[in-house]
A = this chain, B = another copy of it.
Amino acid sequence: MSLIAHSVSDFIRTLQALSGILEKGAASAQARKIDPLVLTSSRLAPDMFALARQVQIACDVAKNGFSRLSGVEAPKFEDTETTFEELQARIAKTIDFLRHIKTESLVGSEDKVVSFPAGPERVLKMKGDAYLKQWVFPNLYFHTVTAYNILRHNGVDVGKMDYLKGADLLP
Protein backbone atom coordinates (compact mmCIF):
# COMPACT_ATOMS: atom_id res chain seq x y z
CA MET A 1 0.00 0.00 0.00
CA SER A 2 1.33 3.44 -0.90
CA LEU A 3 2.27 6.13 1.60
CA ILE A 4 -0.78 8.11 0.63
CA ALA A 5 -3.25 5.22 0.94
CA HIS A 6 -1.64 4.36 4.27
CA SER A 7 -2.22 7.94 5.48
CA VAL A 8 -6.03 7.84 5.26
CA SER A 9 -6.11 6.17 8.69
CA ASP A 10 -4.08 9.04 10.19
CA PHE A 11 -6.72 11.51 9.02
CA ILE A 12 -9.55 9.38 10.39
CA ARG A 13 -7.77 8.96 13.74
CA THR A 14 -7.08 12.69 14.04
CA LEU A 15 -10.67 13.64 13.16
CA GLN A 16 -11.91 11.12 15.72
CA ALA A 17 -9.62 12.73 18.29
CA LEU A 18 -11.02 16.15 17.32
CA SER A 19 -14.52 14.74 17.81
CA GLY A 20 -13.57 13.57 21.32
CA ILE A 21 -12.11 17.00 22.13
CA LEU A 22 -15.35 18.69 21.02
CA GLU A 23 -17.36 16.23 23.14
CA LYS A 24 -15.37 17.39 26.15
CA GLY A 25 -16.08 20.99 25.11
CA ALA A 26 -19.82 20.35 24.98
CA ALA A 27 -19.75 18.51 28.32
CA SER A 28 -17.77 21.33 29.90
CA ALA A 29 -20.26 23.94 28.68
CA GLN A 30 -23.10 21.92 30.17
CA ALA A 31 -21.31 21.34 33.49
CA ARG A 32 -20.33 25.01 33.83
CA LYS A 33 -23.72 26.27 32.58
CA ILE A 34 -22.11 28.12 29.68
CA ASP A 35 -24.00 28.60 26.42
CA PRO A 36 -22.20 26.09 24.14
CA LEU A 37 -22.31 28.69 21.34
CA VAL A 38 -19.96 30.85 23.42
CA LEU A 39 -17.36 28.11 23.04
CA THR A 40 -17.99 27.32 19.36
CA SER A 41 -17.75 31.04 18.52
CA SER A 42 -14.66 31.60 20.65
CA ARG A 43 -11.32 32.53 19.09
CA LEU A 44 -7.73 33.21 20.18
CA ALA A 45 -7.39 36.55 18.41
CA PRO A 46 -9.96 38.94 16.89
CA ASP A 47 -8.70 38.22 13.38
CA MET A 48 -8.49 34.44 13.74
CA PHE A 49 -11.24 31.97 12.93
CA ALA A 50 -13.54 30.85 15.72
CA LEU A 51 -13.74 27.25 16.90
CA ALA A 52 -16.59 26.27 14.55
CA ARG A 53 -14.65 27.48 11.51
CA GLN A 54 -11.48 25.70 12.66
CA VAL A 55 -13.42 22.43 12.74
CA GLN A 56 -15.01 23.11 9.36
CA ILE A 57 -11.58 23.71 7.84
CA ALA A 58 -10.04 20.63 9.47
CA CYS A 59 -12.78 18.60 7.76
CA ASP A 60 -12.25 20.39 4.44
CA VAL A 61 -8.51 19.84 4.52
CA ALA A 62 -9.13 16.11 4.86
CA LYS A 63 -11.94 15.70 2.34
CA ASN A 64 -10.58 18.08 -0.29
CA GLY A 65 -7.05 16.78 0.11
CA PHE A 66 -8.06 13.19 -0.51
CA SER A 67 -10.54 14.19 -3.18
CA ARG A 68 -7.74 15.87 -5.14
CA LEU A 69 -5.36 12.96 -4.63
CA SER A 70 -7.89 10.24 -5.48
CA GLY A 71 -9.98 12.03 -8.08
CA VAL A 72 -13.10 11.03 -6.14
CA GLU A 73 -15.55 13.88 -5.69
CA ALA A 74 -15.92 15.04 -2.08
CA PRO A 75 -19.26 15.90 -0.47
CA LYS A 76 -20.06 19.62 -0.38
CA PHE A 77 -20.74 21.19 3.00
CA GLU A 78 -22.65 24.46 3.43
CA ASP A 79 -20.48 25.83 6.26
CA THR A 80 -23.52 26.60 8.38
CA GLU A 81 -22.55 24.61 11.48
CA THR A 82 -22.62 26.55 14.74
CA THR A 83 -23.43 23.96 17.42
CA PHE A 84 -21.28 21.14 18.75
CA GLU A 85 -23.82 18.64 17.38
CA GLU A 86 -23.60 20.11 13.88
CA LEU A 87 -19.81 20.10 14.01
CA GLN A 88 -19.86 16.46 15.11
CA ALA A 89 -22.09 15.63 12.15
CA ARG A 90 -19.65 17.30 9.77
CA ILE A 91 -16.74 15.33 11.21
CA ALA A 92 -18.75 12.11 10.91
CA LYS A 93 -19.57 12.83 7.25
CA THR A 94 -15.92 13.59 6.55
CA ILE A 95 -14.77 10.36 8.17
CA ASP A 96 -17.41 8.48 6.19
CA PHE A 97 -16.04 9.97 2.95
CA LEU A 98 -12.48 9.01 3.88
CA ARG A 99 -13.52 5.45 4.78
CA HIS A 100 -15.03 4.96 1.33
CA ILE A 101 -11.93 6.01 -0.61
CA LYS A 102 -10.66 2.92 -2.38
CA THR A 103 -6.94 2.20 -2.22
CA GLU A 104 -6.90 1.74 -6.02
CA SER A 105 -8.03 5.33 -6.56
CA LEU A 106 -4.85 6.55 -4.83
CA VAL A 107 -2.44 4.48 -6.93
CA GLY A 108 0.03 6.85 -8.59
CA SER A 109 -1.18 9.85 -6.60
CA GLU A 110 2.35 10.44 -5.21
CA ASP A 111 3.48 11.68 -8.62
CA LYS A 112 0.31 13.42 -9.72
CA VAL A 113 0.37 17.22 -9.89
CA VAL A 114 -2.31 18.64 -7.61
CA SER A 115 -3.74 22.17 -7.96
CA PHE A 116 -5.52 23.77 -5.05
CA PRO A 117 -6.70 27.20 -3.93
CA ALA A 118 -4.77 29.10 -1.25
CA GLY A 119 -6.99 31.98 -0.32
CA PRO A 120 -9.56 33.46 -2.69
CA GLU A 121 -7.17 34.48 -5.49
CA ARG A 122 -4.26 32.11 -5.59
CA VAL A 123 -3.95 28.61 -7.02
CA LEU A 124 -0.94 26.58 -5.97
CA LYS A 125 0.48 23.37 -7.42
CA MET A 126 2.39 20.58 -5.74
CA LYS A 127 3.38 17.02 -6.46
CA GLY A 128 1.01 14.60 -4.70
CA ASP A 129 3.40 13.25 -2.08
CA ALA A 130 4.66 16.73 -1.16
CA TYR A 131 1.08 18.02 -1.14
CA LEU A 132 0.09 15.37 1.37
CA LYS A 133 3.12 15.70 3.66
CA GLN A 134 3.85 19.41 3.44
CA TRP A 135 0.38 20.83 3.02
CA VAL A 136 -2.53 18.57 3.90
CA PHE A 137 -1.11 16.96 7.03
CA PRO A 138 0.26 20.23 8.50
CA ASN A 139 -3.08 21.92 7.78
CA LEU A 140 -5.06 19.11 9.41
CA TYR A 141 -2.93 19.39 12.53
CA PHE A 142 -2.98 23.19 12.45
CA HIS A 143 -6.76 23.42 12.64
CA THR A 144 -7.14 20.48 15.02
CA VAL A 145 -4.58 21.88 17.48
CA THR A 146 -6.04 25.37 17.20
CA ALA A 147 -9.50 23.97 18.00
CA TYR A 148 -7.92 22.21 20.98
CA ASN A 149 -6.17 25.41 22.08
CA ILE A 150 -9.37 27.47 21.85
CA LEU A 151 -11.15 25.05 24.17
CA ARG A 152 -8.14 24.75 26.49
CA HIS A 153 -7.91 28.54 26.65
CA ASN A 154 -11.57 28.58 27.67
CA GLY A 155 -11.03 26.24 30.58
CA VAL A 156 -12.08 22.94 29.01
CA ASP A 157 -10.27 20.04 30.63
CA VAL A 158 -8.64 18.48 27.57
CA GLY A 159 -5.11 17.08 27.56
CA LYS A 160 -2.63 16.04 24.91
CA MET A 161 -3.72 12.41 25.21
CA ASP A 162 -7.13 13.44 23.86
CA TYR A 163 -5.32 14.69 20.78
CA LEU A 164 -3.07 11.62 20.45
CA LYS A 165 -5.92 9.19 21.11
CA GLY A 166 -6.04 6.12 18.91
CA ALA A 167 -2.28 5.73 18.51
CA ASP A 168 -1.35 2.05 18.08
CA LEU A 169 0.39 1.42 21.39
CA LEU A 170 1.97 -2.00 21.92
CA PRO A 171 1.20 -3.89 25.12
Chain A residues close to B by CB (< 8 Å):
3, 7, 10, 13-14, 44-45, 48, 113, 124-127, 130, 133-135, 137-139, 141-142, 145-146, 149, 152-153, 155, 160, 163-164, 166-171
The answer to whether A127 touches B170, judged by C-beta atoms less than 8 angstroms apart, is: yes
Most B CB contacts (10 A, CB to CB) among A3, A160, A166 go to A160
The answer to whether A126 touches B169, judged by C-beta atoms less than 8 angstroms apart, is: yes
The one of B10, B126, B149 in contact with A170, judged by C-beta atoms closer than 8 angstroms, is: B126
CA distance A135 to B169 in the complex (A): 10
CA distance A3 to B7 in the complex (A): 12
15 example contacts (A-B, Cβ-Cβ < 8 A) are as follows A3-B3, A7-B133, A10-B134, A13-B134, A44-B149, A44-B152, A44-B153, A45-B153, A127-B170, A130-B167, A134-B168, A139-B160, A141-B145, A142-B145, A145-B146
Nearest-neighbour CB distance to chain B for A55, whole angstroms, equals: 15
Q: Given A130-B168, A134-B164, decide whether A152 and B3 contact each other with a Cβ distance below 8 A.
A: no
**Using Cβ atoms and an 8 Å threshold, which residues of chain B touch A139?**
160, 164
Q: Which residue of B lies closest to A44 (CB)?
A: B153
Nearest-neighbour CB distance to chain B for A19, whole angstroms, equals: 16
**Using Cβ atoms and an 8 Å threshold, which residues of chain B touch A171?**
125
The answer to whether B164 touches A48, judged by C-beta atoms less than 8 angstroms apart, is: no
